[in-house]
Structure 1
Amino acid sequence: MSSSTSGLTSHQMAARARRLSIFVGAAAALAGLMFGLDTGVIAGALPLLSHDLGTSDRTAEWIVSSLMLAAAFGSFQAGTLAERWGRRGTLLIASVLFLIGIALCALAPGVEVMIAGRICLGLGVGLAAFAAPLYIAEITAQSRRGRMIALYQLMITIGILMAFISDGLLAQGGHWRWMFGVIALPTLMFLGTTLMIPPSPRWLLMKGRREEAVLVLRELRGSPEAAKTEADGIELQLSHEKQAGLALLRVSPGFRRTFTLGIAIQALQQFSGINVLMYYAPTVLERLHFSASAAVWCTTALGVANTLATIVSVMLIDRWGRRGLLLLSTAGAAFAMLAFGTLLWTGDHSPALTVGLLVLFICAFAVGEGPLPWVLCSEIQPLRGRTFAISCSTLSNWIANWAVSNVLLSSLNLIGAHGVFWCLGAFNALFFAVTWFFVPETRGESLEDIEERVNAGVPLRRLGRT
């Protein structure tokens, strides 16, 4: 990436910086595409594996959930990697793990190799899910930060939708190996774009590489003065914070509060029920007497709704703010899950009502519960504790994800589908309460201003000015 700006007017430099910032953020957000593809592909492939690999319900649960368990481990290790090799270096490691995992899954002769491939994919997803939102938050100007992190979530939904469409096209021929194999092409694109993006300027300053950090900021902000001012502000924060990570958690009550909130909202995102639909929707719909083909294409319709609603979220997140969207989202998701459970309890399997309530839940989730935990966790944590806090909150996300995916089919047999969805509705109601009492409005706030309030002991709800 060229650093030359000589001969450019201030207007041209600003326009160039905007284009570069969008490219860099979008390139990092491709990690979300890989997240969506690698997690979404299993929904269509799973019913076919029982024929070729002889999987049972319990084996199927482990094939699905092994990715989440590996992602939990990957997200926990991501903090160490991101501190040592940087955010970009962590994304590069993730891209290599994606390629290995895809090859193992596509060529798997048995369940053991399939699970090994899913573990590689999970490690990559865990690293990428940690590093991408953190990187985007640290390189994006505050006026566009919410949109750019939400773009990461949009790419997840696009990846899931692409996986569902691919599954639908390949399912009739039973081509589950190709369902995995076609993901290699976007993975190579992700690897190529990651090689083109610059290191995080905040990470460079943490490593004492000021000259490089100012150069990157100058390219991204379009102004030497703005670059120097931002670098000075980051260095001032670093000088005030001698402890980092776990040591900072021990001595800072403010950090303990943001740390706990990050873990809570990431876990509640997964207990909302989204991945019950993303991983098992065809299986659940077939149990409600949908044909195999109808179940796959209804799942694809859910993917379309997920993508469209996430686009709405990207458009609104820096206009309406984080808190309002999250309250709307959690209320809608709670209603949809409770209503769907009640529908199943009454024995009404009307296709229109069934799909309608599932679409309502997907739209409610995608508007807020999907993108906003990633946005908020990247914004509310102080710089020296950020990688540690996001590593732990991402770990909680994947542990909750694994717990749901690992017991879903068994729970359906134990308490019935209506009981499962009532429980999910209750978790969404709890998410609404946590948002109401604790989640701040961070729209338009700089990371440095938020951190000052955290260090000053300001209550969580008031970390934003509005």
Structure 2
Amino acid sequence: MVGVASIRSDEQTTHHARSTTRATLLGIVAALAGLMFGLDTGVVSGALPFIATDFHLSSRTQEWIVSSMMAGATFGSLLAGNISARFGRTGAMMGAAILFLLGTFACAFAPAPAILIVGRVFLGLAVGIAAFAAPLYISEITVESARGAMISFYQLMVSLGIFLAFLSDSLLSGGGHWRWMLGIMAVPATLFLLSVLYLPHSPRWLMIQNRKTQARRVLNLLRSDEEVAAAELSDIEARLQQGTDKGRGSTLFWRNGNFRRSVFLGMILQVMQQLTGINVLMYYAPRVFEAAHFGTSAAVWATTLVGLTNMTLTAIAIVFVDKWGRRPLLILSCVIAAASMGGIGLILWSGAQSFGAQLALVGCVLLFVAGFAIGEGPLVWTLCSEVQPTRGRDFGIGCSTVTNWAANCLVSNTFLSLMAAVGSAGTFILFAVLNGAFIIVTLAFVPETKGVSLETIETNLLSGKRLRDIGR
């Protein structure tokens, strides 16, 4: 009997390993959407000084070039829920890949700032759709024991894209080749488009479409164990048949107060993420370093170091997100970010004239990016995909994604003006205060969802448990 039990245990372990491997590989392909997100977010940072010189742009026009992508992403997020619900998560990602290509070519060959802005809007549409569909798809195909790590892997791809964009900008900055900086993005966009063709539809989306046979086939592919797949299929089916889960997400939002709580939590988390100041550094890092008397070339290379730190610490976060949990990492992240932003503000207030002050500034910037990367960055997207019920997931994640890009657009469109109004030191001290406020939000509302199935989180939410307790 012991031998038989041991054999069965080994078989289950093998099935689980296959299950994790297959779902992981598909999740990695979907996470290429994050790579595109990061590339198109980071590339403008190094290209902007050269674009401004070639077109003789004012600071206000530069703000519009940067923020036009966020405006497009906001609109893309509004469309993403309906696109994802109608064509599936894979269909949404395919549409985003096509838009990435169109936007890249428009930017690279732009004869005037207006065309460049239009191209950036196309890229924004792509980013808004991809940022909605990819984490949602990953959360729906991954087993709960690896879900946090896999959704965080999406954020790792975002940070990898930012780093590669910064590195590419640095290598091309010697000749001021901003068109090459923007145009080289066509290569990963093509790779992403070809990769999406191999992704199966999400089993949860197939069940919503009443395509049970296909959903079973996909789950058998992902789980490799028919009993596990059948049990998961039954859970999804039972959830969809519950009375509180029927109807469109917008209908559920107005009829179900518990669902409204999860939607508002996702929106609050996304606003707080943008108010940390991370995208100020992603879009305008060279301007920040130039304010501390760095030369243009040194500022661009320092920005590359920011991207490398972001990528490295995001990778570390992936290792610990399903071990330490969401709440501890998020709180630690907020504390580090608040302290380092305060340090940046104080150094800029002192004038940062000496070489030592410049090194301290770089150190504080890197510390902030490290703090953001271990929590505020990846975990916000993880939590937003986990706390929404199945029937309302498209709507709930759509609301939080739209909120993310609207807040992103606001911050990127006002940063240079804010610096001019209150000074660079005052601006970063304000961001330090906002990071401190994120700690309070986390303690009051954020649940611990480590190792908890989406169905359990949903049951707790719809039964009326406090938001911070729905992962128990």
Both structures adopt the same fold (TM-score exceeding 0.5): yes
Partners of 2:227 and 2:210 in 1: how far apart?
Answer: 20
- Residue 91 of structure 2: aligned partner: 89
Of 325, 334, 341, which residue of structure 2 is paired with 1:337? 341
Q: Give the aligned partner of residue 121 of structure 1.
A: 123
1:96-175 equivalent positions in 2, closer than 5 A? 96-175=98-177
The corresponding residue for 1:3 is none
For residue 328 of structure 2, the aligned residue among 304, 314, 324 is 324
State the SS of the aligned residue for 1:65. Answer: helix
Match of 2:374 in 1: 367
* Counterpart AA for 2:323: R
> Is the Cα–Cα contact under 8 Å of residues 272 and 425 in structure 1 kept in the other structure?
yes
Structure 1 residues 35-58: Cα deviation after superposition (integer angstroms, max 9, x where no partner): 000110000000001222221111
* Residue 13 of structure 1, CA deviation: 4.9
* Equivalent residue number for residue 260 of structure 2: 256
Instruction: Give the gaps of 5 or more residues in structure 2.
Output: 1-10
Structure 1 regions of 5+ residues with no counterpart?
1-8
Deviates more, 1:347-356 or 1:23-32: 347-356
Matches within 5 A, 1:245-394: 245-349=249-353, 350-394=357-401
- How large is the RMSD of aligned CA atoms in angstroms? 1.1
Matched, 1:434 2:447: no
Question: Retained in 2: the 8 A contact 1:75–1:123?
Answer: yes
Q: Secondary structure at the match of 1:383?
A: coil
Q: Measure, in 2, the Cα distance between the counterparts of 1:85 and 1:275.
A: 31
Which one-letter code corresponds to 1:62 in the other structure? W
The total of aligned residue pairs comes to 457
- CA–CA distance in 2 between the matches of 1:454 and 1:244? 18
Matches of 2:364 and 2:38, distance apart in 1: 22
Per the alignment, residue 201 of structure 1 pairs with: 203
Mapping of 1:415-434 within 5 angstroms? 415-434=422-441
- Equivalent residue, structure 1, for 2:3: none
Question: Given the alignment of the two structures, is residue 447 of structure 1 paired with residue 449 of structure 2, yes or no?
Answer: no
**2:402 alignment partner in structure 1:** 395
Aligned partner letter, 1:70: G
Instruction: Read off the aligned partner of 2:412 and give its amino acid letter.
Output: S
Q: Distance in 2 between matches of 1:141 and 1:377?
A: 17
Distance 2:121 2:185 in 1: 16
Residue in 1 that maps onto 2:246? 242
CA distance in 1, matches of 2:12, 2:368: 46
How much does 1:11 deviate? 6.3
CA pair 258-368 structure 1, distance change in 2 beyond 3 A: same
Is residue 292–residue 358 contact of structure 2 (8 Å, CA) maintained in 1? no
Deviations 1:1-47 (A, max 9, x none): xxxxxxxx766654443322111000000000000001100000000
SS at 2:145's partner residue?
Answer: coil
Query: How far does residue 318 in structure 1 lie from its aligned partner after superposition?
Result: 0.3
Q: How far does residue 351 in structure 1 lie from its aligned partner after superposition? A: 1.2
Residue identity over aligned pairs, in percent, reads 50
Equivalent residue of 2:75, what SS? Answer: helix
Q: Identify the match of residue 466 of structure 2 among 456, 459, 462.
A: 459
Tell me the CA shift for residue 348 of structure 1. Answer: 3.3
TM norm structure 2: 0.95
Per-residue deviation, 1:363: 0.2
Q: Tell me the amino acid that sits aligned with residue 400 of structure 1.
A: A
Q: Is the 8 Å Cα contact of residues 170 and 179 (structure 1) preserved in structure 2?
A: yes
1:76 counterpart = 2:83: no
Cα distance in structure 2, aligned partners of 1:133 and 1:154 = 12
Partners in 1 of 2:311 and 2:321 — Cα distance?
A: 15
Q: Which residue of 2 aligns with 1:4?
A: none
Q: In 2, Cα distance between the equivalents of 1:70 and 1:238?
A: 33
TM-score by length of 1: 0.96
Q: What letter is aligned with 2:153?
A: L
- State whether residues 292 and 351 of structure 2, in contact with CA within 8 Å, keep that contact through their aligned partners in structure 1: no
Please state whether the residue corresponding to 1:443 is helix, strand or coil.
coil
Name the counterpart of 1:6: none
Q: For residues 13 and 222 of structure 1, what CA distance do their matches in structure 2 show?
A: 6
- The question of whether the paired residues in 2 share the 8 Å contact of 1:15 and 1:222 is answered with no
CA contact (8 A) 2:20 2:143 kept: no
CA distance in 1, matches of 2:95, 2:250: 25
Q: State the partner residue of 2:8.
A: none
Q: Secondary structure at the match of 1:199?
A: coil
What code does the residue aligned with 1:61 have?
E
AA aligned to 1:433 is: I
The secondary structure found in structure 2 opposite 1:153 is helix
The SS at the match of 2:392 is helix
Instruction: Provide the C-alpha distance between the structure 2 equivalents of 1:243 and 1:366, rounded to a whole number of angstroms.
Output: 37
Contact 2:20–2:142 (8 Å) recurs in 1: no
CA separation in 1, counterparts of 2:421 and 2:46?
24
- 1:20 maps to 2:27: no
Q: Higher mean Cα deviation, 219-228 or 24-33? A: 219-228
**Which whole-Å CA distance do the structure 2 matches of 1:244 and 1:142 have between them?**
25
CA contact (8 A) 2:326 2:379 kept: yes
**4+ runs deviating over 2 angstroms:** 9-19, 346-349
| Aligned position for 2:4 | none
Cα distance in 1 between the residues matched to 2:213 and 2:324: 37
Q: 1:218 — aligned with what? A: 220
1:84-136, Cα deviation, whole Å (9 max, x unpaired): 00000000000000000000000011101100100000000000000000000
Q: Distance in 1 between matches of 2:18 and 2:223?
A: 9
